[in-house]
Each structure stands twice: as C-alpha cells, then as structure tokens.
Structure 1
Amino acid sequence: MTRLPGAPRLTWKIHVVAALICVCVAMPPVESLAQPASARETIAIPDCTLIDDNAAYNDADVTRVQQLRVTMISSQLRDALRERGLYRVADNAPAAALIASLQSMQNLNACNGCEREVGRRLNAGRVGLCWVQKVSNLILNINLRIEDVASGATVFQRSVDIRGNTDLSWQRGVNALVDLLAQAQKQK
C-alpha cells in the first residue's frame, strides 16, 4: 500500500489496523462456518409421547403434571437441537391437524411409517420421535429415534434411563439425549 502524501506514517498504520479490525468483527465465527452437515437438514419433531405402564393407577393431578412434563421436554428438545446447530427444526403448525389425527389413533413412535408423512408435509429431511416410558415413579426412560423421511432408515436411536419422576430428571434426560446425538454427528 502506498501512503497518502502528507499523512504521517503512524496515522496510516492506525487506519490499516482499524480496517482489519472491522473486517474481523464482520466475519462470522469459525464454528458457524464449520457446522456439521446435518445442521443444514430440517427435522420435524412432533410432541413427545408418554407411555405410562401404571396410568390406570394415576389420579388426575399426576396425569396433568406428567402431560405438562411431556410438553416441557418436547419444547426443550426442539430448542436444544436448534441452539446447538444440530438441525433446523420445522414449525409443526402446518401439519398440526395431521399430527393430531395420527396421534389420536396410535403413538407416532409405533405407527410403522406414518411419522414420515409428517416430515413430508413439513418439507423436512428427517423426523424425530421422542417418547417417555414410565415404569414407575422411580424408573423411567426417554427415547429418541431420528429417521430419514425419504428412505425410512433410522439414522439415530438412543434411550437414556432417568431416576425420579421430576421436571429436573426429565430435563436432564433430554440433555443427555441431545449430547449423545451431538457426539454421534461428530463421529460421522
């Protein structure tokens, strides 16, 4: 670079350094440039399902609290996938009627392919199914299965056991599943 006539050498250097700082500040962080390939994938995540082996013994308050937990972890799962850059999470609203119709007949995690229709309706390449199996108030597990919408192939499936039927234990279970998914994607 040539120095402007009459400009002191120090002023010229200050302008060059300031320009370099502006360029560096405007650049996206390196980790956003190197997102995993799946971060470009869109995933449909219907609400999680509760399979309660002792539902007949629950009172109305226990049922209500557990349904609130299902809603809580469904949102937590979507948020975590989005925030960690693992997937773009589809908005379920355009397929809400389809999801409600399918869930009224069966659990989506056991409907033998109907969940892929949700993915197609939402233009998602993947569909994720989450379900909680409650054996007792002490023994529960949270499951996540992610399928390729086009082929039906399972691309991820894990289960975590949790102890205690509390908001915190359910939240920790979802965090553990998302950690396992992130590890699996790093290994690809």
Structure 2
Amino acid sequence: MVRFVAAVLLWAMASAAAAEPLRTAVFDIELVDMSQEAERGPRDDQSRRVKLVSDELRRLLQASPQIQLVELGPASDEINQKAPLYRCNGCAEDIARALGAELLVSGIVQKTSDLILSFAIAIRDVRSGELVRGGQADIRGNTDESWLRGIRWIVKNRLLSEPLPTRP
C-alpha cells in the first residue's frame, strides 16, 4: 500500500511539473520591407503595426497555460544592438538563455508590396536552437485589421494548435 501511495504521489508531482508553463522569450516581430517603398525608409504606420502585432502575439501566447512570458527589459540594450535578430546568427537564443527562457518566439513580416505581406513566426528551443513549432500566413492589405488577422491565425492554427512539447 505504501508503494502504491508513493507511486501515485510521484506521478502527481511529475504531472504537475510537466504542466508548469514553459518560460518563453517573445521578441518583437521584425519588418523585412522588400517593396519599392523600402528605399524611402521606415513608415510610421508600419512601425506602429509591428508594435501592434508584437503586443498581440505576446497577449495571445500569455493566455496559453503552456507559456509564461519572461521580461525582455533587462536585455533591451543588447536586443537593440543586435537587431535585426533574424540576421544575428543565433543571438536570439543567447539572449533568451541569459533571461532564463526555455523557448523563444521570433518572427518577421515580409512586405512585398502594400497589397502582399507574409508573416513567418517560429518557436525555438533555447538549449538546442531546434524549431519546436512554426507558422506562416500571407495577408492581403497593409492595414491594422489584416496584420492582426494574420498574427491571430498563425497563433491559433499553427503555434498553439497542439500542445507544446513538455520538459524532458
């Protein structure tokens, strides 16, 4: 009987540990402007949309019981120095690791024109750098509504459509 109770307690503790949310660093989405307008420099409306969808991505992921966001503030100087992170050859993993994260989420929105944009978001394991989950969505139209619809679709249908892997 004692062995049975001990086994049940061990199983319950293991289940509770597996159910703990994964500490996750969610970096801002980065704009890759390949349109003819790119040579004019950053546009205020697009900079605002990048912030809008980055905040929405964090909000949606934080709502998941699988994820606990880590604060990026302590690494803000390093993030700004190494930006854009999609070009920094693994520095996002280093930053996330230093913040105590187990997963990192990063992504881009690639603008081909004011009509054609594409999101690509990835969740990576900080230790191995391996892709855990990813999603891509093409959107039509350069509006707040279309950008939000794209990020929401990726989170719902790709990033959180199945449970994330648990700790080993």
TM over 0.5: yes
What's the CA shift string for 1:134-155, capped at 9, x where partnerless? 1111111111111111111111
Please state whether the residue corresponding to 1:183 is helix, strand or coil. Answer: coil
Deviation at 1:177, TM superposition (A): 1.1
How far did 1:114 drift? 0.9
**Structure 1 segments unaligned to the other structure (5+ residues):** 1-33
Q: Does 1:121 align with 2:98?
A: yes
Q: Distance in 2 between matches of 1:68 and 1:97?
A: 20
TM-score normalised per structure 2: 0.80
Q: TM-score, normalised by structure 1?
A: 0.72
Of residues 143, 162, 166, the one that matches 1:184 is 162
How many residues align? The count is 150
Q: Does 1:112 align with 2:92?
A: no
- Structure 1 residues 58 and 95: CA distance shift in structure 2, 3 A: same
> Which of 59, 70, 73 is the matching residue for 2:53?
73
- Corresponding residue for residue 48 of structure 1: 29
Residues 55 and 38 (structure 1), Cα distance of their counterparts in 2 relative to 1, 3 Å cut? farther
What does 1:25-44 align with in structure 2 at a 5 Å threshold? 37=18, 40-44=21-25
Please state which structure has a larger fraction of its residues in helix: 1
- Greater fraction strand: 2
Percent of aligned pairs with the same residue?
Answer: 33
State the Cα deviation string for residues 1-32 of structure 1 (Å, max 9, x = none): xxxxxxxxxxxxxxxxxxxxxxxxxxxxxxxx
Give the corresponding residue for 1:26. Answer: none
C-alpha distance in 1 between matches for 2:48 and 2:111: 15
In 1, the alpha carbon distance for the partners of 2:133 and 2:165 equals: 12
Shift of 1:184: 3.0
Structure-1 residue corresponding to 2:43 = 63
Partner Cα distance (1:41, 1:112) in 2 = 24
The structure with more radius of gyration = 1
* Residue number in structure 2 paired with 1:17: none
How far residue 65 of structure 1 moved from its aligned partner, in angstroms, is: 0.4
AA aligned to 1:70 is V
For the aligned residues, what is the CA RMSD?
A: 2.4
Runs of 4+ in 1 over 6 A off after TM superposition: none
Task: Tell me the distance in 2 between the aligned counterparts of 1:117 and 1:170.
Answer: 29
Aligned with residue 174 of structure 1, among 148, 151, 154: 151
C-alpha displacement of 1:98: 1.1
Is the CA contact 1:86–1:182 (under 8 Å) kept in the aligned structure 2?
no
